Structure 1
Amino acid sequence: MSPEPSSESPADRFAELLALSRAGKRLPVEQWHPGHCGHSDMRIAADGTWFHAGSPIGRRELVKLFSSILRREPDGSHVLVTPAEKLDIDVEDAPFVAVEADCEGEGQARRILFRLNTDDVIACGPDHRLDVRVAADGTPRPYLHVRGGLMALVNRPSFYALADLALAEGAQPPGLWSGGAFFPFMQGSDDAA
C-alpha cells in the first residue's frame, strides 16, 4: 500500500502511517517528493537517542514510526518525509544503532543478523554491507548499510564479538563472510573476496 496525498487531515494521515508501521510494512519514502517544510526540531544523538525540542522521545513506538519515514537525501542530509511534507532532522552520527549481532552458519555460508535499536532485523550481505572505518583516534567504527544510504553504527559489544570470531577463524585480512560476501575489518582492505 502506497499512501498518496489526499484530502484527509494530517491526523488521519499520521494514523494511516502508524498503522502501516505497526504492521511492519516498509513505507515508500523514496517515492514521496513533497515540498520542503522546514526543520522538525528533532535530532538523533550519536547513541541513537531521538530528541524533540531538546527532550528525549520516550515512546518507543513513536521512535519506530519516525524511523520508518526517515530518508537520506543525495546531499547527505536526513529528512523525515510523508506524502505531504518533508522536514529536516539532525543526525549526529548514524541514525540507527545495531544493538545485537547473531550468526547463523559458518565460513562462506555464514549469515550475520543485526537487530537495530528500532527492533528492525537486518541480514548483512551485498545489499546491507558492513563497512569498518577508523576514527581519528584509531578505534574501529563499524557501520551497517540499512537502506537508501541510511546507516547503523554497530555497538562495541556486538562488533567485538564479531572481531573475536574473525580472529579465531584466522582470515587474512581479518573479517567475516555474511550473505555470500566477505567483509574485512580493516580500512583499506578489499571490499569483497
Structure 2
Amino acid sequence: MPYEPPPHLASLTLAQIAEQVEARKLPPVEGWAPTKMGESGMRIAADGTWFHDGSPINRQAMVRAFSGLLVRDESGRHWLISPFEMLSIEVEDAAFVATDMVVRQENGGPALAFRLNTDELVIAGPDHPIVARGDAETPALYLGVRRGLDARLNRSTYQQLAEHALAVSADQADDDWTVSSMGETFALKP
C-alpha cells in the first residue's frame, strides 16, 4: 500500500488534526527489552536529513519507519530500538524539524499544531511543550515530540510562531513573547 501523506495542515480543523495524531501507529518500544547494543552508523543532520554510513537516506518511507523506533535516554543519547537490539544514532541538533504550523481554536482557547519533516502532526500542549533555548541573540525554538525527542522549528515555522506571538501580544497590549496552546503558556525567549 503506498504511503498517503496527511492533507495540507492549513486545510485541517483541530478535530481532523487530532484524528491524524491518533491514527499514527507507533511501535511499542517502551515495552521492548533489547539485549544487544551497538552502533547504527546513522546520523541525523541539523537540517533533518538522515544519513547511513555517510550517505543520505533518500527514501522518506525509510526515514518515517526509523523515526518511529527512535528514543532519547536520560543522558541525551539517541537510540534506534527493536525488540532485540538498541543501536546508537548521532543527532546533531534535534531528531525532527517542525516545517509548518497552524493556529486553531479549541473550547475558546488556542491550539498550535505543527507538521514535522516526517509528515507527523503534533499539537503543542502539556505533553508537547514549546521550549526556547540558546540566548537572546541566537534563540532556537523546540517542540517536544515523544520519548524525549524534540523538533526544532525551521526558519519559516519560527516566523509563523513569532507572527502569532506578535498578534497575540498586540491584542493583549503587552510584549511578553508568549504563546498558549491547549491550556499551556510557553515563553518564546530563552
- TM-score (norm: length of structure 1): 0.80
Find the structure with the greater CA-based Rg: 1
Identity %: 46
Match of 1:154 in 2: 153
Q: After alignment, is 103-112 or 29-38 more displaced?
A: 103-112
Unaligned runs of 5+ in 1: 1-22, 188-193
Query: By how many angstroms is 1:106 displaced?
Result: 8.2
Amino acid corresponding to residue 158 of structure 1 in structure 2:
T
SS, match of residue 150 in structure 2: strand
Equivalent residue runs for 1:167-182 within 5 Å: 167-170=166-169, 171-182=174-185
What secondary structure, in the 3-state scheme, does the structure 2 residue paired with 1:58 have? coil
Map 1:19-168 onto structure 2 (within 5 A): 24-105=24-105, 109-135=109-135, 138-168=137-167
Secondary structure of 1:173 counterpart? coil
Is the 2:177–2:188 contact (alpha carbons within 8 Å) kept by the matching residues of 1?
A: yes
Structure 1: 4+ residue segments shifted above 4 A: none
Give the drift of 1:108.
6.6
Q: Alignment partner of 2:47: what SS?
A: coil
Structure 1 residue 92 displacement after superposition: 0.4
Q: Which runs of 5+ in 2 are unaligned?
A: 1-22
Q: In the alignment, is the contact (CA less than 8 A) between 1:163 and 1:175 conserved in 2?
A: no
After superposition, residues 3-22 of structure 1 pair within 5 angstroms as none
Alpha-carbon deviations, 1:24-78, whole Å to 9, x = none?
3111112212123310000000000000010000000000000000011122100
State the alpha-carbon separation in 2 of the partners of residues 31 and 154 from structure 1: 30
CA contact (8 A) 1:175 1:182 kept: yes
**Number of the residue aligned with 2:13:** none
Task: Report the RMSD for the aligned CA atoms in angstroms.
Answer: 1.8
Do the aligned residues in 2 keep the contact of 1:98 with 1:114 (CA within 8 Å)? yes
User: Higher relative contact order at CA 8 Å, sep ≥6: structure 1 or structure 2?
Assistant: 2
- Is the CA contact 2:36–2:84 (under 8 Å) kept in the aligned structure 1? no
